């Protein structure tokens, strides 16, 4: 049977991609090696965090599913970086991994037009291959071939293979072709892509041991309670009475490695496949293994380790901060040297996994391949790391597969529009030489891209695409009207001259509340007695308005800069332009532009090695071309 779209992989990218295409009215087949592992939280069962929480909210605003799944599975909620500015704050939820998986599969099975099939994709069906480049158009994808010999037609195909494409797991001397411990790798597809000339590389990631919670001594650890929960999804009803997560909330715990831990690791470092040369893939520098931490920072006598629950129906606990590929006997020894874990039982050992990834410079900003039309790629397959980064790419790949099926222009979000725009622009313009993780520091306009503004920034986009239903859109319009009403109340009410005023408000006597809020010391809650009508609105709406007012000067500056960038991004370039034939371009610019093949002048300007003079030359060439046409 033929489908409009075939999605390869049932992880976070595959979930979002397949749901997006199906919700936009097309037939989808999601092929996965094991339907029971759809939506698996392979590493930490947590969603969100610094900049990642922003991505989840943006995925939700565009009509994705990750926020909904997180709200259903949340067992602890916290906002990180509360003591710092709003641009770097972000929500994070510890989740019940089994409930998350169950909810993800249910969302797929309940979606009209979406089917799930258990098999392994080993090759692509491609039309137009083997003909001379000078006489043919770019080849186009026509489907996939599976391990069991199935030939399944697909007008578009989305690769979302995660760590499974030619994956290999390492624990000391042990290695096996697996994408996760105990789960076989997806063999064959990487070889097929290499045969076709795709630039593939090897990356490495890792995960810590899982521990039996009933064997942990929590009395010597620091308890880390959560906060009052707030939903990630705009679809989750927060009307009064106040929303509460549907599951019981549980604490996490903090302990630390010791000098003895480090001594055990150093004395056995020669047994590490990472240091012994068995692992050749590049790992993430921002999330090093415990052996990397010990060897790179010899002056440190301890590193924080967070003990976090895997779910409510299990005692398993996750050792956040202690990923490793050391042999199991060494793992047990160093784990037992950590306070509170002296008698702990290891349920699952830590391991490293090495896998194939596709160089994202080989993709357009739509996440479509430059080599095969109709072939899209998303998630760790593109060299990124993290559930949230994968989900964001999966959603965009799914949207753009649907746009291609419709014959319409792809959705490409700007860097000033969303963290998703930053993520995909970085990958497809700069490439990556290590697993890419989203950071707030990567976003030039991060104050305007706060997590609490994701729905107001991107819901109209979701509506235009057809991913925001009438009920959601009605709630969104109600919120935007509420935000405007709050702004008006703050402009109408003034700070009265009263001796009972809080000290922070007294200097602002006679000013409007709107004006007084520019004072960073004034908390939104202090305004409720001065304008009681504000209490009619959800507190998060008031907080959002107050933050917009407090940082309005900075936000306006960011918006001006973003508008300038958008002007360059609006100047389109031909993806097939022969840069080697353009006189005046520097040699480096010719090489870099030919590699990236930018689709806009803005993207070209962000390529390292392309000079301002090169951009000016392309601008002149573009104007001449438009005049000639």
Query: Which of left, alpha, beta for 11 (phi over 0: left; psi -120 to 50: alpha)?
Result: beta
Instruction: Calculate mean pLDDT across residues 244-261.
Output: 96
- Which range is least confidently modeled, 83-97, 210-224, 342-356? 83-97
Question: CA 103 from chain center: how many Å?
Answer: 19
**In this predicted model, which residue has the larger pLDDT, 322 or 501?**
322
3-class state of residue 253 by DSSP:
strand
pLDDT attached to residue 134: 42
pLDDT attached to residue 577: 87
pLDDT higher than threshold 50 for residue 133 = no
For the chain, how far is it from start to end, CA to CA, in angstroms?
A: 44
Residue 610 in tokens: 């392309």
Domain spans of the chain, in order of start: 3-204+355-465, 210-352, 493-555, 571-628
pLDDT higher than threshold 80 for residue 145 = yes
pLDDT attached to residue 439: 92
Q: Which long-range contacts (CB under 8 A, 24 or more apart) does 510-513 make?
A: 513/489
Closest by CA position to 325, among listed 292, 351, 302: 351
Residue 308 in tokens: 């976090």
Question: Over the stretch 63-75, which tens digit does the pLDDT of each residue have?
Answer: 999 999 999 999 9
In terms of CATH, what superfamily is 571-628?
GidA associated domain, C-terminal subdomain (1.10.150.570)
Q: How far apart are CA 114 and CA 541, in angstroms?
A: 36
Answer for the pair 558, 422: CB distance below 8 angstroms, yes or no.
no
pLDDT higher than threshold 90 for residue 82 = no
- Which helix H or strand E contains 196, and what residues bound it? none
**In this predicted model, which residue has the larger pLDDT, 31 or 240?**
31
With a CB cutoff of 8 Å and minimum separation 6, the contacts of 539 are 524, 525
pLDDT higher than threshold 50 for residue 156 = yes
3-class state of residue 221 by DSSP:
coil
- Confidence band of 36 (pLDDT split at 50, 70, 90): very high
Architecture of the domain made up of 210-352: Beta Barrel (2.40)
**In this predicted model, which residue has the larger pLDDT, 211 or 577?**
211
Strand ranges (DSSP E) for 549-627?
A: none
Instruction: Calculate mean pLDDT across residues 304-332.
Output: 97
CA distances to 48, 278, 500, 508 from 526, in Å: 30, 60, 12, 13
pLDDT attached to residue 626: 65
Residue 298 in tokens: 């010899």
Instruction: Calculate mean pLDDT across residues 421-430.
Output: 96
- Confidence band of 135 (pLDDT split at 50, 70, 90): very low
pLDDT higher than threshold 80 for residue 306 = yes
Residue 47 in tokens: 């969603």
CB atoms within 10 A of CB 271: 16
Using a pLDDT cut of 90, give the percent of the chain over it. Answer: 74
pLDDT attached to residue 581: 87
SS (H, E, C) 125-146: EEECCCCCHHHCCCCEEEEEEE
Answer for the pair 385, 211: CB distance below 8 angstroms, yes or no.
no
Instruction: Calculate mean pLDDT across residues 143-154.
Output: 97
- Confidence band of 629 (pLDDT split at 50, 70, 90): low
pLDDT attached to residue 522: 87
Question: Over the stretch 48-67, which tens digit does the pLDDT of each residue have?
Answer: 999 999 999 999 999 999 99
Q: How far apart are CA 611 and CA 499, in angstroms?
A: 61
Question: CA 444 from chain center: how many Å?
Answer: 17
Q: How far apart are CA 510 and CA 500, in angstroms?
A: 15
Question: Over the stretch 468-510, which tens digit does the pLDDT of each residue have?
Answer: 999 999 999 999 999 999 999 999 999 888 888 888 888 888 9
Instruction: Calculate mean pLDDT across residues 279-308.
Output: 90
pLDDT higher than threshold 80 for residue 628 = no
What length does the chain have?
629
In terms of CATH, what superfamily is 3-204+355-465?
FAD/NAD(P)-binding domain (3.50.50.60)
Residue 38 in tokens: 């759809």
CA distances to 178, 293, 303, 419, 471 from 443, in Å: 35, 27, 28, 7, 32
- Confidence band of 77 (pLDDT split at 50, 70, 90): very high
Instruction: Calculate mean pLDDT across residues 78-105.
Output: 93
Write down the mean pLDDT value for the chain: 92
CA distances to 122, 445, 609, 629 from 532, in Å: 64, 34, 57, 62
pLDDT attached to residue 241: 59
pLDDT attached to residue 380: 95
pLDDT attached to residue 240: 53
13-26 as b/e: b if 16+ CB within 10 A:
bbbbbbbbbbbbeb
Using a pLDDT cut of 70, give the percent of the chain over it. Answer: 97
Strand ranges (DSSP E) for 284-426?
A: 304-309, 316-320, 346-348, 351-358, 375-377
**In this predicted model, which residue has the larger pLDDT, 559 or 318?**
318
- Which helix H or strand E contains 624, and what residues bound it? helix 612-628
């Amino acid at each position: 049977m033929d489908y409009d779209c075939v999605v390869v992989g049932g992880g976070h990218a595959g979930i979002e991609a397949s749901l997006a295409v199906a919700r936009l009215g097309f037939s989808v087949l999601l092929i996965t090696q094991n339907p029971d592992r759809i939506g698996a939280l392979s590493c930490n069962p947590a969603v969100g965090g610094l900049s990642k929480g922003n991505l989840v909210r943006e995925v939700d605003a565009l009509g994705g599913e990750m926020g909904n799944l997180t709200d259903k599975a949340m067992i602890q909620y916290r906002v990180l970086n509360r003591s710092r500015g709003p641009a770097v704050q972000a929500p994070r939820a510890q989740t019940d991994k089994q409930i998350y998986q169950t909810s993800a599969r249910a969302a797929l099975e309940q979606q009209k037009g979406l089917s799930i099939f258990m098999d392994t994709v080993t090759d692509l069906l491609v039309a137009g291959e083997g003909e001379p480049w000078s006489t043919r158009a770019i080849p186009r994808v026509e489907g996939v071939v599976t391990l069991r010999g199935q030939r399944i037609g697909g007008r578009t195909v989305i690769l979302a293979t995660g760590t499974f494409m030619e994956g290999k797991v390492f624990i000391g001397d042990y290695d096996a072709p697996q994408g996760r411990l105990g789960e076989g790798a997806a063999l064959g597809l990487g070889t097929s892509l290499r045969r076709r000339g795709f630039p593939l590389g090897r990356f490495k990631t890792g995960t810590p041991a899982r521990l039996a919670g009933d064997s942990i001594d929590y009395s010597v650890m620091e308890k880390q309670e959560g906060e009052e929960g707030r939903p990630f999804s705009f679809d989750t009803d927060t009307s009064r009475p106040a929303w509460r997560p549907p599951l019981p909330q549980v604490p996490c715990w903090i302990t630390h490695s010791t000098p003895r831990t480090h001594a055990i690791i150093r004395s056995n470092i020669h047994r590490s496949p990472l240091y012994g040369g068995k692992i050749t893939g590049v790992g993430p520098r921002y999330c090093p293994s415990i052996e990397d931490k010990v060897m790179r920072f010899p002056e440190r006598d301890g590193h924080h380790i967070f003990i976090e629950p895997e779910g409510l129906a299990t005692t398993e606990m996750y050792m956040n901060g202690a990923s490793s590929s050391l042999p199991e006997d060494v793992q047990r020894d160093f784990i037992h040297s950590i306070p509170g874990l002296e008698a702990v039982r290891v349920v699952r050992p830590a391991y490293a996994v090495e896998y194939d990834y596709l160089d994202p410079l080989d993709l357009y900003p739509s996440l479509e391949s430059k080599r095969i039309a109709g072939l899209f790629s998303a998630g760790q397959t593109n060299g990124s790391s993290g559930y949230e980064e994968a989900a964001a790419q999966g959603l965009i790949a799914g949207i753009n597969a649907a746009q291609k099926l419709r014959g319409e222009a792809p959705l490409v979000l700007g860097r000033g529009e969303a963290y998703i725009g930053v993520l995909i622009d970085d990958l497809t313009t700069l490439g990556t030489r290590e697993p890419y993780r989203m950071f707030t520091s990567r976003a030039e306009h991060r104050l305007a891209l706060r997590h609490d503004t994701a729905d107001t920034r991107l819901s109209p986009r979701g509506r235009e695409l057809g991913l925001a239903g009438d009920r959601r859109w009605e709630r969104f319009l109600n919120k935007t009207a509420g935000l405007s009403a709050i702004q008006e109340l703050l402009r109408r009410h003034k700070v009265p001259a009263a001796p009972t005023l809080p000290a922070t408000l007294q200097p602002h006597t006679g000013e409007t509340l709107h004006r007084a809020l520019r004072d960073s010391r004034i908390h939104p809650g202090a305004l409720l007695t001065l304008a009681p009508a504000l209490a009619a609105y959800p507190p998060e709406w008031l907080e959002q308005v107050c933050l917009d007012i407090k940082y309005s000067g900075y936000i306006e500056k960011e918006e001006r800069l973003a508008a300038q960038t958008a002007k360059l991004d609006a100047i389109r370039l031909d993806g097939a332009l022969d840069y080697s034939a353009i006189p005046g371009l520097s040699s480096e610019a010719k090489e870099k532009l030919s590699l990236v093949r930018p689709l806009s002048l803005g993207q070209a300007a962000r390529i390292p090695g392309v000079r301002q003079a090169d951009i000016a030359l392309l601008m002149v060439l573009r104007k001449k071309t438009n005049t000639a046409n």
